[in-house]
Amino acid sequence: MFAKTFRNTLIASTLVVAGAALATPAKADPVNLGGTVADTSAVTSTATAAASTLNLYGAGTAQTNVVVKVADMALITNNTTGVTLTATGDAGLTNGTSTLPYQVLIVADAAAAPADTAFSSTIDSKSVTDFSAGAAARDLYIEYDAPALLDPGAYTGVITVSVAAL
């Protein structure tokens, strides 16, 4: 008799425990995930030899529409949509007394020299989306009109090249 009562009690206890487990809803607690990826877009400009040996004429002869490749630009990014590449020329080549204005133009890497008519400003921006393994390249040209007479001296100028995510 003891065994039958024990067995009935065990079955009844199991049913109570199982019923209690079914009556109590499961508890849930979300785990929120997140992360940040920093922009690694960058440009490295390498001046060509021609950039520091520009023929400015100015000694009795003039030359208009002079187009010169002045830099090779290497770009990198982790941005899958690409970047905006911008070249901004300063006020012009100057020796402290005289200034020779110029315009800038960004072109595809290893492309033929652009025509002088392609230049329009001291600032040029291009969207770059043709990255291969996160890298791309472009060339930088300037255009200027060299006068017949130009004050003597060493002329210098600066073009600032920047890159920003699209």
**Tens digit of each residue's pLDDT (9 = 90 or more) over 22-62:** 566 789 999 999 999 999 999 999 999 999 999 999 999 99
Judging by DSSP bridges, how do beta strands 123-128 and 103-108 pair with one another? unpaired
Tokens of 68: 């010169």
pLDDT for the residue 20: 52
pLDDT for the residue 151: 95
pLDDT for the residue 15: 47
**Tens digit of each residue's pLDDT (9 = 90 or more) over 57-83:** 999 999 999 999 999 999 999 999 999
**Cβ–Cβ < 8 Å for 102, 157:** yes
What share of the chain has pLDDT > 70, as a percent?
86
Question: What pTM did the predictor assign?
Answer: 0.82
| Predicted confidence (pLDDT) at residue 149 exceeds the cutoff of 90 | yes
Cβ neighbours of residue 151 closer than 8 Å, sequence gap 6 or more: 58, 95, 97, 98
Positive or negative, the Cα torsion across 87, 88, 93, 95? negative
Q: Would you call 65 helix, strand, or coil by DSSP?
A: strand
**Cβ–Cβ < 8 Å for 139, 67:** no
